[in-house]
Amino acid sequence: MSASTNQVNHHKVIILGSGPAGLTAAIYTARASLSPLIIHGPLAGGQLTTTTDVENFPGFPEGIMGPDLMQLMEQQATRFGTTVAVDTIVKANLSQRPFTLTGQSGTYTCDSLIISTGAAPKYIGAKNERELLGYGVSTCATCDGAFFRNKVIAVVGGGDSACEEASFLTRFASKLYLIHRRDSLRASKIMQQRVFNNPKIEVLWNKGVLSVEGSKKDGVTGLTLQDTITKEESLLPADALFVAIGHTPNSSLFQGQLDMDENGYLLHKPDSAETTIPGVFVSGDVQDHVFRQAITAAGSGCMAAIGAERWLEAQHG
């Protein structure tokens, strides 16, 4: 959508991002008659669109495909009057009211802004890693671990995420390999100890993943590893690879305008979705490096929407 004047592009509420956080914020603000505008980039639906079966979202006892869940949420949001614009926002000005968002196709202004831009998992860059995403390669143990009961699982990474995912995945795995590129873990001592004390986990030190073996039909069958010191290559038979080398919050638009932690996650006031700028709220993975679940993102989207609704009411009566 693009329009020629600020008048047309002005909305009481703009929601940036169309994952579960943004869409839940849209459902709530739309039902509050605020006619929100959701702006998302070329790919709607956020990280869930790269997930296959979602088995842990309440209300779907048989599970639901990630993209289907997002489509249903969007239908629910538009039913109550949400408008959707596909645009890539390249600049945000939160220093003046109304807030201004400059996109590649248009300029948008709003009284209240809900930022639900999500986070992107980092990838290692191994051959076939992206092709087999959802077919044995995953970036989310909580989402996909249960598909690999009694299977050999590999986790790559050496931080808290990798150790946490590795420990969690031993509930399912017959054997778990933690693959790390150095000879010591970056994770906190307690997480490291959990890994070292777990008889199912074997740490493969000084190893990088060159290539994921397998196909969409057969899933992952193994990994080609390379020793980071000797450069020797080896084949590790495995049924799944979980990439856990961290996430990057999509917050760079707000650098210097909103408070962030040292990793770029947006900060909000305790027990609320409010930022230090009145009228600007945050929800979903862009402000959460701890839980990162569709349901927690949706919950925080609801908090941001109710926050925005109350804030607007206090402004305009």
Cα(218)–Cα(183) distance, integer angstroms: 32
**140 is an active site residue:** yes
Q: What is the DSSP letter of 66?
A: H
Cα(60)–Cα(54) distance, integer angstroms: 9
Binding of ligand NAP at residue 97 (CB under 6 A)?
A: no
Residue number of the CB closest to ligand NAP reads 159
In the stretch 70-89, what mask flags binding to ligand NAP with x, by CB under 6 A? --------------------
Q: Which of 87, 110, 140, 239 is catalytic?
A: 140
Binding of ligand NAP at residue 200 (CB under 6 A)?
A: no
Near ligand NAP by CB under 6 A: residue from 67, 246, 264, 299: 246
Near ligand NAP by CB under 6 A: residue from 144, 164, 213, 239: 164
Cα(192)–Cα(163) distance, integer angstroms: 7
Binding of ligand NAP at residue 299 (CB under 6 A)?
A: no
Secondary structure of residue 63 in the 3-state scheme: coil
C-alpha distances (whole Å) from 28 to each of 36, 38, 110, 272, 278 are 9, 12, 17, 16, 19
Cα(87)–Cα(298) distance, integer angstroms: 22
Binding of ligand NAP at residue 159 (CB under 6 A)?
A: yes
Cα(132)–Cα(42) distance, integer angstroms: 22
Q: Which of 144, 160, 285, 288 is catalytic?
A: 144
- String of DSSP letters for 152-166: EEEEE--SHHHHHHH
**Position 129: which residue type?**
E
Q: Nearer to ligand NAP by C-beta: 54 or 203?
A: 203
Near ligand NAP by CB under 6 A: residue from 1, 86, 124, 277: 124
Q: What is the DSSP letter of 46?
A: G
The stretch among 43-51, 109-117, 143-151, 180-188 that binds ligand NAP (CB under 6 A) is: 180-188
Least separation in angstroms between residue 191's CB and ligand NAP is 7
Which residues of this chain interact with ligand NAP, rule CB under 6 A? 124, 156-162, 164, 181-182, 186, 245-246, 263, 289
Catalytic residue positions?
140, 143-144
